[in-house]
Amino acid sequence: MTQHFTAPDRLTGTTGTQWWRDAVIYQVYPRSFADGNGDGMGDLDGVRSRLPYLRDLGVDAVWLSPFYASPQADAGYDVADYRAIDPMFGTLLDADALIRDAHELGLRIIVDLVPNHSSDQHEWFKRALAEGPGSPLRARYHFRPGKGEHGQLPPNDWESIFGGPAWTRTDDGEWYLHLFAPEQPDLNWDHPAVADEFRSILRFWLDMGVDGFRVDVAHGLVKAPGLPDIGGADQLKLLGNDVMPFFDQDGVHEIYRSWRTILDEYDGERIAVAEAWTPTVERTANYVRPDELHQAFNFQYLGAPWGAAALREVIDVSLAAMRPVGAPATWVLSNHDVTRHATRFANPPGLGTQLRTPGDRELGLRRARAATLLMLALPGSAYVYQGEELGLPDVTDLPDEVRQDPSFHRAAGQDGFRDGCRVPIPWTVEGSSYGFGEGGSWLPQPDSWAGLSVQAQTGDADSTLELYRRAIAARRAHPGLGAGDDLRWLEAPDGVLAFAREGFVCTVNLTGRLVSLPVSGRLVLASAPVAVDGDRFELPADTTVWWTV
């Protein structure tokens, strides 16, 4: 029986508001958020216990990274059973309780969906291996004979995102495709059973009451006919910069149109969000046409450097690309796959490198705070990754023996330092895991994190946590912020961005120097202290200011 849930909108007190157009959505990485049973690993009961914190932060929805039954070869993105909870996270009853509690607090729940690949421990794949070449179950994946006289070479030259060939040979001599780890065989979406299964999975979780799905590798489901060679190109460098035979194929859109019909059957404005790495924002817009998905992550914005020209260009391009399809732009600075922006914006920057001086850390945090106010002032929806509201940097000095990112252990793949942004977050100033749980934490936390904890920052008007709370509240309260695509650039000195929305002005100094500017209205919020003197003010380096007019 379909469960019809309609959550109240905390801004308007009504429903039917297309809440997702201006939502602030908070990503929870369950294993690193809160540990409810003291085993050192975060779980659903831990997330449930911290929902009031997220309500008080002011976010509209919570996106949960995978918690499904999984061997955990890739932190749960290798799913063995899409309708079961991994025991390390809890049970289906725990998931049901979490969803219900969230709704009672006015929070919506978005869950990760992983349709590009399953685990090699999924029942389909285990049977496919056991039944051998030519079996019906093998047709649900990409099994192929190898090249060479004895089939000893991979079927094509595709590379795994994690490094090495994208093919693994089985004991019977056939090869199977895995764009990620060998434990993550790619599903064959040309097979009708795959499409049928995922429509059923969607309904299962919608009937549980979830409010939407974040679609992992949304650009990867369909492969080019014949699985053609790429021809020796550096595939890792081409990712996100070109249409690949295994990514961003036009056939994915038929899949998402079928999903949209299912989402629209349910009350409460259920949504789907695409993780789609595409060459251009215009191609990303294809995923959010009116009959497809609702949002797509804006990776071009996430990847933009800290500079006025680059940010202005990506903002303009993003808004222009979304207008023809009527979709909201999305803005994101960090997630579980990239270096936290408090580290990324530091000088010297560097993925997987340590911040070498206290000055580096201070600069990274200063820019991160300014970037947050810029992001929250832009038209559309914003995503917040757990811990960024605390100003957490990446942990870059983790010992090799504790790392669990599969790409760390494979040559020539991703840099392998994603563990640095996944370290469990601190809640209290004391304790073996700073309040994460009673049994320590699965990745070690730096000693300095006591001062960055929720407890340490709560009530401190100058803290990053209180800045986030004030910014999200002001965003919700101001009629000119949130949904829409209105943005008018104002004249500003080189290195400074200034734009107006209805009754609102945002000014950002991306230079390394103090800039004197005319006052734009009533000062609402600033990422760092600002001196106002009459009709002018001094805008410090790497600082954002909000005004009402």
Are 107 and 60 in contact by the 8 Å Cβ rule? The answer is: yes
Question: In 148-171, which positions are buried (b, 16+ CB within 10 angstroms) versus exposed (e)?
Answer: eeeeeebbbbbbbbbbebbbbeee
Active site residue 362: no
Q: How far apart are CA 448 and CA 96, in angstroms?
A: 36
Q: How far apart are CA 357 and CA 271, in angstroms?
A: 43
Helix ranges (H only) for 436-509 are 454-457, 464-477
Among candidate residues 265, 313, 415, 502, the one labeled active-site is: 265
Q: How far apart are CA 394 and CA 176, in angstroms?
A: 35
Active site residue 265: yes
CA atoms lying within 13 Å on the CB side of residue 501: 22
CA nearest neighbour of 420 among 350, 511, 359, 474: 350
Q: How far apart are CA 378 and CA 547, in angstroms?
A: 14
CA atoms lying within 13 Å on the CB side of residue 400: 2
Element (H, E) at 361: helix 358-377
CA nearest neighbour of 544 among 470, 451, 479, 457: 470
CA nearest neighbour of 283 among 298, 305, 273, 263: 298
CA nearest neighbour of 89 among 110, 74, 75, 105: 75
Among candidate residues 35, 174, 216, 388, the one labeled active-site is: 216
Q: How far apart are CA 341 and CA 391, in angstroms?
A: 9
Active-site residues: which are they? 216, 265
